[in-house]
Structure 1
Amino acid sequence: MNKIISISIISLFLLVSILSAYPILYASSVSFSVTSQWLVSPPYVAPGEKLVPLQVTLIYHGSDNITNVQIIPIESSPYIVYPNDQQYSLSVMIPNQQYTFTFIGNITPNIPLGVYNFYLQIIYTLGNQVYTQTITVQIPIMGYVQLYSTSQVNGIVFPGEEDLPITLTIYNTGTTPALNVTLFLNSTYPLQFITKTVNIPLIQAGSFTSVQVIANVYNNATIGTYRIPLTALVYGSYHSLNTSITINSNQTVGGKILTPNILLGSGADQKGVPVTLNIIYNGPVPVESYDIQIFLPNGFTNETNGNIIYIEGGSLQPYQEFDISFNVNINNASLGSYLFPIKIVWNTIEGEGLLVSVVQYSTFTITLMGQPNLEIFVNPIVLYAGSVNNVTLIIRNVGTGNVYNLSLSISSQFSILNALPRIPILKQNQSIRIPIEIYVPPNAEGEPVQLVVTINYLNSLYQSSVYQQELGFYVSQLNAPSIPIIITLNPSIIQPGTFSSVNLILTNTLNTTLYNISIEISSPIYSNTSAYDISYLMPGKTYIIPLTLFSQVSGQYSISVLLTYYENNIQRQEQLSLPIYVMQLNTPVIPILINFNASTLLTGEIQYTTLIIYNTLNESLYNITISLSTQGQIYLNTTTITISLLRPLQKIVIPVEIYTDSSGIVTISATISYYQSGQQRETQEIVNTLAAGSVEIVITGVSSVPSVAVRGGIVSITATIYNFGTGPANGLTVTVFPPKGIEVIGENTYYVGNLGSDTSSTFTFAFRILNFTKAGTYIIPVEYTYTNDVGQVLHSYSNISLTVLNSSSVFNFSSFRHSNAFSNHIILYIILGIIIIIIIAIIVIFIRRRGGIE
């Protein structure tokens, strides 16, 4: 009897142990897989970098949803999050769902390159119990900065020279950009640096940055080449650099070209193009006279078709500036930069009245930018009342130079429904087609319409320019017969003081041919044509009459056109009046151009981007202070930028952080103070970029009816999608691309409509499994096409994982799976029941045997 009680107690203890172990077994089924990537370009980080964004992608593997999830980074080297309160909280995690988190942190300086561990602590609730797991995230720290330097001086360096400008070029041959580099200049024989330190904001990987420093040369320096040590501090580490300087003579006579880079708004086949060089004579003694020879490269000649230009000049004092001007013929030279060698002979008197000629060689560059010339065309020219008309605007650059940063605006009595794009560049002989939507009200039928298109742009010399052109339309009457001949003038805006070519365009709107067309033109301004005859004009065809117009005075004029023609042997007449505008264009120079180096910003999150600051002039600018002020709900971490020097045509890049919570145009005002030619100047500039709400479409549920058979089976799929972004997905369409063996019943595109932020919707497709389809798993790509809240057309993608069995199939999305916790519970209860039955059977057998023995 005691054995029976012992066995029973052991059995009950075994049962209780199994039941108590169930939560542990249940929790142990929870696991996570993790990947990471640096959100920088190039995707390398180096020891000592600060505020580096790390994106961690977490996939939860388990059988049931877990709730009250907290993701907390554990502070440890080499990646320490900053600020240290960064963590994420999720109300629920779904099995096999992918979650992405971004942390900002600093890399520990002076550590070896390699792959390190970054730890995350995950706290979650499962089955009314709280669990904690620590997962390891592998992060590669493989980037490095490698610097070396070179130096350059203009002319010959001699002992005792003061305030010698030296151009130091720092190269970064590493894999990561070098931010906030501090360059320490160590004075050593024969140089004493006046500039002690130089701060360089950025040196991109595989690139270089040049800075100018000032130094004095020791009086006792001898001729030779000397190695000068430099030290650079970047990311908390010191780098030793070396550069060299050559002392050539005890004294030198020479000068310097102050305009080494000249931009010309000229192109091929232009004669007598004026060029001016600005030169300074550096001394140290006066010169009696100078002789200059300029050697012309291929494609250029002088005014007598020779290849050398000769210039003579008189006396000069040390540090005296002077200009030389000459004309060149540009023959078959294409656009681009050309190097012009120059030889200068300085004739000086030294010692006992001895005339000494010192020869100096140098070079300067002429860059042919070409001259842009814009034309605007439109198609069609007939609009319909009471409807939205789709019109194509064609902008063509027929000049010899490129056009930059084009922004369009349209003035019209009718509504322009769509936003007009900004065009970064329009190259020579390039055209671009821009669709516009014009709503014409019903009461406008039968009336002529004018659209004034204004284009603000930077011409090939980076000067701000404006081009305007008026486009003529005709609104067709709703119930009245068409006007037989429609006449438009293209372009309808010209500049004063120039002979302008325009086209008089006739369009036959009838279904019959018109004959013996006579045109009489009356114009208050000069026109090279007053009468024109056309034998016939077929239905729907156009005829172009070229005109040359001229006016000295700007203003609006009206050109009268009288048409006489025959329609079905009946003579008819039309009298039309066409407006022509003569407008003066204003082209102010923007000395310092500021732009965002970023595509569309995303609202509701901090963007890490850069400002590009560009000197558009052919001379240096000094002591530049840029004050930035924002409008509306915009945060910018940098509001004041100070730059000591901008060389001619130099660009520098400034990293900034910007945040906005509203979509549309983000406007920043810039007040720029600078010194030019020793005078302080100030200018204002507006910096614009575009911000849009983010769109993140995630599949949160799916159902299929019925099961899928291998041969000839049909399944209907309904999926639930949710927009987790901050902006709407307007006009959302879903398109599927099934593989071979699976086909869509009906159209493969489903129109969802507008899917706002934090809203859900569904889409449904029916699929047929073909007879030859084998059992297995098939991936069906899904494409989402939509427009964001600023009118940009975007795409995102997902996949359908379709498993086909011999008799049925399971259909799910790769990012979603139904919970099977209930099934797991049933299986566990069955196992426990079987164990209990086995224990009872053992007890019964034992009792019977004992009874038989006794």
Structure 2
Amino acid sequence: MKAYALLLLLLVLALPVYSQEVGSNLAIVSIKWGTSSQSVEVGPGSVNAPLTIQLLNRDDIAIRYAKLTLSLPEGITSTDDSRTAVVFLPTMNPGTISEAVFYLNIDKNLKTGVHQATLYIEGVNDDDTTFLYTTPIQLRINGEVSLHVSNAEKTVMAGRRNSVNLILSNNGTGTASEVEIVMSTSQQVSILSYPTRFDKIDAGESVKVPVEIYVAPSLAGSPVTINVAMNYLDSYGNPRTVESTLGYEVAYSTPPNLLLEIIPNQLTIYNLNDVKLRVTNAGFTVVRDVALTLSVNLPLVPVGTDGKFNIPEIRPGETAEIPVSIYVSETSAPSSPVTVSLSYLDDSNQLKTESRVLNAFLSARSAEFLSPINLRITPNILYSGTINNITVSVSNIGSTTLRDLTITPSASSQATWLQENTLNIPSLEPGEEYKSQAAIFVASDSPTSITLAMTVSYYGRDNVQRQEERQIGVLVKGVVHFEVVDLTILPEVVSPGQTFSVTIVLVNTGTVQASAVSLRPSENIQGFRLFGQSRVFLGNVPTNTPTSVTFSFTALNSTSPGRYQLPLVVSYRDNVGEVHTDTLSVNVNVRPAGFGGPGTARTQTTTANTGFLNTSNIITIVVPLLIGLVAGVAIGRRGRR
């Protein structure tokens, strides 16, 4: 017992200043947000926040169990949304401290500050005595601190001192105090200056942090990062640290923006052209030690220079000109490239190299240097899967006579020339035109447009053979042709006022697939009325694939006996998207009412036209003859009686 008393005395002496006695045997040692191992920040909107209350058994009698009931103020609830939270504690030995942890939710609209709650403690001691205490407690809602740092600029320049701004924001509900900033970065990046301390940053407040940073020129075009560590005291005085990494894109130093020109940029064939290579610094920084190398190919020939030039310095807005003489030999090209390789030191003392390509236009003194050949093919629309007769027309649009003119079509997998490939013309006077007939077969699987390549060679006035490669584009259309290859009429014998069906088998005997195919009877059908569907959409119809379509008609009572044609209209698109409409005809025989038997189906196959009567035709002829013969015999016998 004395040992318990001594232990109790020591614990009481060790109690912090905020301890609170509750009854004769209990004392509240501490009330804090969090657990014994970790403190937490609590503010409006906090969910499942732990509140720890430490109780000391000051008596020398053990407490068998205790029940703690916390009555909560408006805006604070337990995890089950109740205004009351309950925690049970097991045996509390004399002189020991027990912890009761309540998990609470804080309404997002609750204001920060001190809120009053009531704690009810009831229990049973080991000597079977009971106790019940009531004590007010204060719940301090100071808010949560949420520090966030961002960079206002996303780009820094290589080889320069950059002034950037960081934005330090407190997006929480509590105040951060004694904020200390520590920055670090990678090699070749130096942080020159920045403020390191702020007394406090209130909730919702943002402060600007100016930073001076230098990035080495070698990091141009690469990303760099800055590590920011923020040490501060939260709204409950607990030390905390938040770390963040900010990224920057390292841009190259502002380029000098050198402009290169050839003045004039039109050169004359067979002439020594004096031109100037003009270099203008349209940027904002000076460039030094500019070295230029001029490279050209035939027909351009530099005269009197090796094509290497140096300019000591070009300031912003200044222009430097280099005189160059260029001879242009004979060519049929309309232009020729001039390559200029240049190197220079920019304002960050970095060596830059560039390669520019300038185009010089070439002109001739007379039209003889232009192509004198005008080559045409008519018609310019060919049909696939068939032989096309074409006309190749060659005209001399030059000013001199052309000799030994040869035109050779090039082989192609899409088009085949059906006669001698080479066309020879001994001579062609200026303004004269020569026409040659040819036949060409275009493959069925050819695209909607093909190119016919031809090689043209000839001799001009200077007796130099010239050769040109020509390509002539033509449009290729496929052939779509619909035929009725089979026909069935049910019943075969159609009488006025009777309904019958017509089933046809349609086949595309062309060379390409027809798309968006639809079939309908013509609107102008004399003596018949359509019964049932008026239009059938077939979609895509490939070649040589039978497609069956059935329509029903009713012969009008006023329809006279005889043979009629039922026109059927086929609409479709070909392979180039053009819409076509064709009309097919179906023959129908109408006979007087009561003629013949009950009627059977009549089948007609149009492709099997051998010149002989088929079975259906024989029946059509023989049956009426037999009926007439039987009727004649019967009438004759009555007459003899």
The structure whose Rg is larger is 2
Category of TM-score, reference length = shorter chain: 0.3 to 0.5
TM-score by length of 2: 0.33
